[in-house]
Chain A
């Protein structure tokens, strides 16, 4: 049981069949061979532009989609479709949209209590209520909110309800799928600080999916950068942020707004040419080569794999 890694994802692939003709279906390669590991109590930030498969990775780990290929291990044990039910107690998810992720016909008490009901984690009604109230206190909601409906709350409060629901089963691993991107900046800060507090108190590990690099750097121990269904760079948060190796990471980081205007002027922005290729018609070799400044002929024929450049900083590029 005592494994170094809590979550191990190996060569995860998720293809969706898309109808392209009357009888023809083409696979959409949303996730194409992703591997990473997360230690207990650690936060892995997963960044990338829209449509690169971040959310799909999160959902495939929790088997909300049946993965096409690859292995997900929890504490060293392989999760399959048949034994997923017991792992649902250990792995939870916080959703992006705090408006559609809460059932408008349920009171807060029932929303947070749902995981307790599903896994029968209480003996009587009083115990159920007690647990719900302690969860609400944990995420900073008042007890009087318990019998209200979700639409009576603001975005930040709703997200807290969603987090309380995820925490109800005492999970060891939570996928935060763009959990703060729908909130405005001041609320983002509150919620992120809460995530950190909860990590310290409960020792949960996060897979923190986001597209805001500053947020990810703040909360993550390690960062993985995704491009078109593949991870192109992984490493310690500061390492990736200060010394990006992959050309895609470089351009992504150069797009981060800098609050100081003088410094911002000095900083050169690396603007990528062209659009993201369609995941239904991926370029051969390295997926990024169509937009890469350093692309050579080798990139068109071979797909680079992640190579360690020291300190666990892995990069998938031939030229850097």
Chain B
């Protein structure tokens, strides 16, 4: 029968007769194409696939990766140091004070005329004749690492504490949440200042000579302060989420099929509260950067000459009218980092919520 169709004469284009060739039986391959069933995926894979479709989130991710690349590579490429006065051919360049972006000092111009090569000051120099670009790069390094380390610590402590408290409930929950209440009721700023002073004094002898000394006592104190104080918000959030999810029928259904606690937490509870955790972790990063900024402002943040974006912005206030770009550079970097973390957090939340699937 199939051969019959093939042997039929070709239809005249102008003929109104139905083309019999169109009613051929579907081949096995064509039948398979009608099977619209898609590949089975895991929850995580599905979420990542959707994240990649969100242009804002992808843009933020690319920007953050670029920033990380710059702060890793720039110190290797730029021949200046964040802590030393500009030198030209081994001579200290006292004239390179408060220069505009891409400006060269007299000494540098003379050296270039002699045929020497000088790396341009992309963002000018500061009042102590230091290259401003490399200072901003180091400032970003410090701020970003504080933001990331602090929020990861908050995430780990808060997630563990909150999920234990929420899942087991009862008396465990009661005691654990009263501890959280006590920490919550302490005045934040006061505790931060007290702890950084006390910790600063006790840590210094401990880390002497180790690689940690390079990071600086203040920075380590800052991490500890964050780990001690700021996890309570996350713990409460996670506990609240778990309490609501736990009472859902699907958790009961999982228990009725014989699923163990570990499986219920892994398959039912975490996927359902992950989006809230994502967004609050992403928002924790900017808040940590801001905390570091005001502590640096109070003299309790990173110790000079190590810059951070907050302290750079703070120093820039002094010459704001004459050298506005000194405030603009660190401020723009802070804004862009905070913005991209927020957009990325939003994107993650949307991607991991199947109800928002387009």
Chain A residues near B (Cβ < 8 Å)? 59, 62, 64, 84-85, 88-89, 92-93, 95-97, 100-107, 109, 114-115, 118-119, 129, 143-144, 146-147, 149, 151, 162, 165, 168-169
Contact = CB atoms under 8 A, between A and B. Distances in A.
Interface in B163-194: none
B288 to A, nearest CB: 29
B174 to A, nearest CB: 12
A118 B35 CA distance: 29
A92 B41 contact: no
B250 interface: yes
Question: Interface of chain A, helix or strand or loop or mixed?
Answer: mixed
A144 B37 contact: yes
Contact of B255 (A64, A109, A149): A64
Contact of A102 (B35, B37, B250, B352): B250
A149 B357 contact: yes
Given A100-B248, A102-B250, A103-B272, A62 B256 contact: yes
A105 B40 contact: no
Interface string B12-49: 00000000000000000000000111111101000000
A223 to B, nearest CB: 24
B257 to A, nearest CB: 4
A119 B257 CA distance: 8
Interface in B208-255: 248-250, 252-255
Interface of B: 35-41, 43, 248-250, 252-259, 263, 267-268, 271-272, 352, 354-355, 357
Contacts of B253: 93, 95, 101, 162, 165
A162 B254 CA distance: 11
A114 to B, nearest CB: 6
B249 A95 contact: yes
A104 B355 contact: yes
Most chain B C-beta atoms within 10 Å of own C-beta, residue among A84, A101, A143, A151: A101
A114 B249 contact: no
A118 B258 contact: yes
B258 A144 contact: no
Nearest to A86: B258
A96 B263 CA distance: 23
A127 B34 CA distance: 22
A85 B248 contact: no
B357 A147 contact: no
B268 A118 contact: no
A168 to B, nearest CB: 8
